[in-house]
Amino acid sequence: MDIKKSNKKQNIPLLCNINSPTDVKALSEKDIPRLCKEIREELVLRVSENGGHLSSNLGAVELSVAIHRVFDSPTDHIIFDVGHQSYVHKLLTGRREDFSTLRNPGGISGFPKISESCHDAFGTGHSSTSLSAGLGFAEADRMNGSSAYTVVVLGDGAFTGGMIHEALNNCKKSLRLILVINENEMSISRNTGLFARNLSRLRARPGYYKTKGAVEKFFEHIPLVGKPIIKFLSFIKRKFKAIFYASNYFEQLGFSYFGPADGNKPDVVEDYLRAAKARGKCCVVHLKTVKGKGYEPAEKNPDSYHGLSPRGHNAGKDSFSEFFGKKLSDIADKNEKVCAITAAMMQGTGLSAFKERHPKRFYDVGIAEEHAVTFAAGLSANGYSPVVAIYSTFLQRAYDNIIHDVALQRLPVLFCIDRAGLNSRDGATHHGIFDVSFLSEIPGMDIWEPISYDSFGAILDRYFLAENKRPTAIRYPSGGEYKMACDYLKDKAVTKIAEGVYADYDTDSVPDNVIITYGRLLCEAVKAKTESGESVGIIVAEHLSSLDTLAKEIIPYITGKNIIFAEEGVYNGSFSMNLTSRINEHSKGEKITVLAIRDSFVVQDKDEHIFKTAGIDKDAIRECFI
């Protein structure tokens, strides 16, 4: 497949005429394979250009098409988990012409988004939430007397998250709720044996369920003895199956189960979905798909094509994540107590190197952030030095565990928080803008954000060499260090004024305007200073806690001046807000302005830098100068 193929109508004649699910239904059965091929061409073209999740969407083409041929969106509710496998759904629901804007500012989101389309029933940027939401939709329809179906498309990885099992425990068999399991890596139910294979083929035929439903309806109309006969027949069937055919997890919970079946054969998928729909009850449809289907490089190496960066960007190369993985591996070479834990993000967090060098001390717990944190607490309590590497946006899910299992017991667990700050491509669901605020509220938590790789390495060394460790978080953004920021720290005028805090002037020459910032916004501060021509100084913090001490040490550097805080995070509970309150206790007439994210999830505008959208860029800083 040529990924450079232009998007002309002659290349995708069927897809170019799909403007709604109604158009998908209108196609003949013989047109569907061709449509699926065109969809794959479009996916490869757009994701190669814009970045995004390719392998998972290539594997979900046939099931997405079949869903829209069998069900009636938006009357029927379709929910994807994880939402990154929803690209085909977006193409088929009126967003084809805008698909070239996928993951661009102001364009189509890489995840389902309620505000984007009525066909996106529920936003799912994190894993394992869909079934709980789908259960809510199905219950609401039941109470409303609606005959609508709720279809939840689950990636098999979602089952590593506990919420799926919590929701399964609360499902009612009477609900019009259909779980479509898209299994492309992990086997959920492996059936073996000749009898099992033949029975599976029998159960895959729609006629099997039509006959079963007709028999049940016949006996239901027999007074007094009808329902007991149905129960007896079901009992006999279960006993018979138990002898020859192991019942799977879903059937043990009482669900009607269809599958497993080839999820990349359009006619098979449609047959299964129609059979499940005809049941009119809570069902599970289990489909096995090939991740990366139809694009040879992705089929051969699906992990490498799971998430692509935009053309011209090198994901993971020369990044904080990559540096962290190698540095931690070096530390673990000398310290046999060091363990690394991640939640289904080994490559994303840079821990592939650690796994290769220390496989017995590496743990990927699946999409289970809560478990990752408490598991680390257990390791720590029993004498080991666990490091938990999780994206900022996913660490939110484990807040209770951080407080109850780590901080309350003062256990030395190190949290390495990747993708800190605003996330332009993945959008609001993946912004890492809350962790400083929610971690700052936890007693005893130490928080750092290194500016450079050298700083990052020094912070890690300091932590592991400390005799009395405490719960510690090191946060860092996507991508690598910025030359402008590194040059600032190397400037001869920059001096250390507190632990992990630096200024580019001394107390004998305090400028009229002082910018206090940390992380990536140091670059915006440097630009604002150099472009303004005003009297400006910069204080940059890598250490974001121990603020009572910092406030006392920083006072001589800001006395009576115009102070501008710039922070790539939410205002409430922020470093800026907390330090300001302490500075005010020693106030000498300073004017203080805080530039931070206020009452917003920051949805980026088209063709605008995300810092400008958030109101924290160099221009916003300059407007605060006197």
Catalytic residue list = 291, 369, 397
Encoded tokens for 354: 């650690």
Residues 6+ apart with CB under 8 A from 334: none
Judge whether 451 and 396 are in contact, CB under 8 Å: no
CA atoms within 13 A on the CB side of 301: 5
- For residue 342, the cross-strand partners are 364, 389
SS3 20: coil
Q: Are 597 and 616 in contact (CB under 8 A)?
A: yes
Q: How far apart are CA 291 and CA 141, in angstroms?
A: 33
Q: How far apart are CA 613 and CA 105, in angstroms?
A: 10
Dist. CA 436–CA 475, nearest whole Å: 9
Q: CA nearest 82: which of 52, 105, 115, 104?
A: 52
Cis amide prior to 82 (ω within 30 degrees): yes
User: If 0-12 CB within 10 Å is exposed, 13-18 middle and 19+ buried, where does residue 6 land?
Assistant: exposed
Q: Which helix (H) or strand (E) holds 273?
A: helix 266-279
Query: Residue 603 is encoded by which pair of tokens?
Result: 């949805």
**380: which residues sit within 8 A by CB, 6+ positions away?**
386, 406, 411, 412, 413
Collapsing DSSP to helix, strand or coil, 487 comes out as helix
Whole-number Å distance between alpha carbons of 590 and 51: 45
Token readout for 31 is: 């047109």
**Distance in angstroms (rounded) separating the CA atoms of residues 442 and 267:** 55
Report the distance separating Cα 513 and Cα 560, nearest Å: 10
SS3 of residue 618 by DSSP: helix
What are the backbone dihedrals phi and psi of residue 482, each rounded to the nearest 5 degrees, phi first? -105, 130
Q: Is 550 helix (H, G, I), strand (E, B) or coil?
A: helix
Q: How far is CA 328 from CA 135, 417, 463, 466, in A?
A: 42, 14, 12, 16
Q: How distant, in Å, are the alpha carbons of 2, 421, 525, 601 from that of 567? A: 43, 9, 11, 15
How many residues can be counted in the chain? 626
Q: What tokens appear for 321 in the block? A: 């994540």
